[in-house]
Structure formats: C-alpha cells, structure tokens
Amino acid sequence: MWVWFHKLGSPPYFYRLSSRLLPWLAVATLISFVVGTIWGLFYAPSDYQQADTSRIMYIHVPAAMFSMSIYMVIAAAGAVTLIWRIKLADLVAAASAPIGASYTFIALITGSLWGRTMWGDTYWEWTDPRLMSELILFFLYLGYMALNAAFEDRRRAARAAAVLALVGVVNIPIIHYSVEWWTSLHQGSTTRGMQFAATIYPSMRYPLYLMMLAFAFFYAQLMFKNTRCLLLESERNNSWVKEMVTQHDAA
Amino acid sequence: MTLPEWMDFGKWTPFIWWCYVVTAVVLISIGILSYRKEHRLLRNIAQQKRREHRGAS
C-alpha cells in the first residue's frame, strides 16, 4: 500500500496512470449523467408534497455533497503537502479547487431556485445558517485559488494555500450540522449513513445514487486532467515530459 | 394527439429547467477548459522541443 502510495507521488507514474484511466472515466461520466438525468427527470416519481420540483434534488444533492467532499480532499492533500512535502499532493489540491468551486456554485444556484418554489417569494435568506455556511465554502474555494495564484514561488503558494484549506475545514461540520444546531429554512439532513436508505423511496433513491456517481466520476476525470496540466506546466523541462510529448506527437 | 405524461415538459416549473441548464453550462464549460488547456500545453511543449532541436542542429 505504502509502496503504491509513494509510486503514485511520482509525476511520470501519475501521468501514465491517468492516461489509462481518463477514457474509462469519460465514458462512465457520460453514461451515468445521461442515464441519471433521464431517470431523474422522466421516470422517477414526483414528490407527494413538492411535486415535480423535487427533481432538482438529482443535481442539488450530489453537487452540495461533493462541494464538501472535494474540500476535504483539498484539506487532506494540504496536510500531506505540509507534513510530507509531496509535490503531487499540492497539485491535486490545486486541481480540485475549481471543480469544488463549480460544484458549490451549482449547489447554491439550484438550492436558491428550489428554495424560491418551496419557501415562498425569496431566492435567498441571509440569516439562514445552511445557506450562509455553503456561501462561506464558496468564498473559501475562491480564497484558496486566489492564494495559490498570488505567489510566484510555487512551494510558498502551496504551503499558504494548505494552511487556509486546513483552517477552512472547520466550516464542513458547520454546513452539515447547521440544520440541526440552528433553525433553518433548509430541510433536515437525509443523507446520513443508514438513515438515507429509510428516508428516500428506492424509485427516487437509485437515480440519486446514479447522479452522485456521475458527479464523482466527473470530479475524478477533471481532477486528473487539471493535475496533468499543472504537472506539464511545472515539469515541462524534465526529460520524461519531452519523451512523453515525442510519443504523443508520433501517435 | 396527446403526449404521454412523462413528455409533458410544461408541467414543470421553469425553475427545474434553469437548474439543469445552469448545471450543464457550468460542467461543460469547466470540462472544455480543462481539455483545451492540456491540448494547448502539449502543443506548446512540442513546439519548444522542435525549436530546441533546430537550434542544436
């Protein structure tokens, strides 16, 4: 396991591995998105209280879930950067940030549109803890990306961004438990462990699982792509990059 | 001719459409940006390598 972990930290190994995985991830992303969307929009039943508006769930829930998960990936990679100084961990974190920010943006927009139909005549409530903590997560992503871009020295940028990512982790349990700790317009948590299976009927749960998979595959695919770009930028003068470009040209 | 119920898109509020449209636009945009960036980088590195090769010979 540790041997594989160390091997994964090697840029040429990572690049070759991602080249093999990317086509499969692209196919898995496309299939799960197409099937999940059609299933969620056309075949899953509508909710008895919210009617067809509940179909927003198939994008809002996975986007919100992965907005938090990706931040945890960034924080974990930040810890690896600070402790073991593995360069690839920093690049994975930097590559994940724009995807996490996009997922958070989607969660905020779809949540706002869903809220407009369910809560009455408002798109946004400034005093709501769930909405505000998710908005703070979006700003944390923007801050992380800005900090990464602010330093010319890549290692200093990586360390500063890693510290911000680790400090920002405190927001993740706040987002998750905000609906229990405070009064919120947002509904209570349904996606917690075994409870999840009991609170959503299978005909709505399975398309939701599929859309979660789609968001996960999409993240993995773009994370690999963005990390490869950062690797190419930082290692463009290394021999393995030149050899790889020669092979790419020949192909 | 009446459409089957599942094709009756008009029964949905515009909010559902907007959610799916915004999601599609955001995801497709970041996907295209990533793929184009790698393509551009590979092309630049290949050009740089050819220039170095010409300079050496």
In this complex, which of A52, A114, A229 lies closest to B12 when CB atoms are compared?
A52
Separation in Å, CA of B1 to nearest CA in chain A = 20
The ipTM value here is 0.89
How far apart, in whole angstroms, are the C-alpha atoms of residue B23 and residue A124?
19
Asked whether the beta carbons of A247 and A16 are under 8 A apart, the reply is no
pLDDT in tens, chain B (57 residues): 455 555 555 666 778 888 999 999 999 999 999 999 999 999 998 888 888 878 876
CA atoms within 13 A on the CB side of A174: 14
How far apart, in whole angstroms, are the C-alpha atoms of residue A23 and residue A9?
21
At A102 the three-state DSSP class reads helix
Candidates A168, A171, A173, A11; CA nearest to A95 is A11
- Taking the domains of chain A in order of start, what are their residue ranges? 20-250
Phi (first) and psi of residue A47, to 5 degrees: -75, 145
Asked whether the beta carbons of A137 and A44 are under 8 A apart, the reply is no
Burial class (CB in 10 A: 0-12, 13-18, 19+), A234: middle
Residues in chain B whose Cβ is within 8 Å of chain A: 6-7, 11-13, 15-16, 18-20, 22-23, 26-27, 30-31, 34-35, 37-38, 41-42, 45-46, 48-49
A218 neighbourhood in chain B, CB within 8 Å = 27, 31
In this complex, which of B20, B48, B49 lies closest to A59 when CB atoms are compared?
B20
More confident residue, B50 or A170: A170
Helical spans, DSSP H, in A85-153: 87-119, 129-150
The pTM of the full predicted model, rounded to 2 decimals, is: 0.91
pLDDT at A58: 95
CA distances from A210 to A26, A181, A206 (A): 15, 30, 6
Q: What is the pLDDT of residues A54-70, one digit of tens each?
A: 899 999 999 999 999 99
